Homo-oligomer: A and B are copies of this chain.
């Protein structure tokens, strides 16, 4: 898939979207979370073209979300298993699913429900602040330049406009002034 590479943008959303690419990758991961591990099973369940599936699986293996584990030598056949990095993507899918349940369900309600076996309740994902545990909303967050923001971009107009003249605040550990 030829496209603009977002992998090097100083933004974790852009980098993640570079990896995801399009609509198929989250659905491949959804299948993996349902226990699907073989090429033919991904293919028959998602009904996508084999070359498309192959591209997506390759990328997920290259980027370390899935690992290819041989289960047969002749001919060579592989299971695609979630790694810790891949498993950690589940909360993103849960947040996507919760938004879709709220806004894209028909009048009957959500097509699939999620049961949290730890507390044995039907649940939805809620995205909260790791500190105070209250739901995060766009109205009560601000963005600041982080330690990994490239020095060479800090003086750019759009960075100064967005993050202010104090974009890199004195006293932060990554400030060299």
Contacts of A50 in B (CB 8 A): none
For A45, the closest partner residue in chain B by CB is: B158
Tell yes or no: A77 within 8 A of B by CB.
Answer: no
Bound Cα distance A14, B123 (Å): 19
Q: Given B11, B89, B99, B158, which contacts A91 in the complex, CB threshold below 8 Å?
A: B99
Majority secondary structure, A binding face = mixed
Contact partner, A13, options B14, B27, B142, B146, Cβ 8 Å: B27
Residues of B within 8 A of A34 (CB): 143, 162
Contacts of A27 in B (CB 8 A): 6, 11, 13-14, 17
Number of copies of chain A assembled together? 2
Q: How far is the CB of A5 from chain B (nearest CB, A)?
A: 10
CA A129 to CA B93, docked complex, whole Å: 13
Given the contacts A134-B119, A136-B90, A15 and B148 also touching, CB distance less than 8 Å: no
Q: Is the C-beta of A152 less than 8 angstroms from some C-beta in chain B?
A: no
Q: Hey, which chain B residues are within 8 Å of A64, CB to CB?
A: 103
Contact A126 to B132, CB < 8 A, known contacts A11-B30, A99-B92: no
Instruction: List the B side residues contacting A103 at CB < 8 Å.
Output: 64, 85, 88
Q: Which residues of B contact A122 (CB under 8 A)?
A: 144
Across the interface, name the chain B residue whose C-beta is closest to A93: B13
Q: Return chain B residues, CB-CB under 8 Å to A18.
A: 23
Q: Spell out A's residues near B (CB within 8 Å).
A: 3-4, 6, 10-23, 26-27, 30, 33-34, 44-45, 48, 64, 82, 85, 87-106, 108-119, 121-150, 158, 162, 174
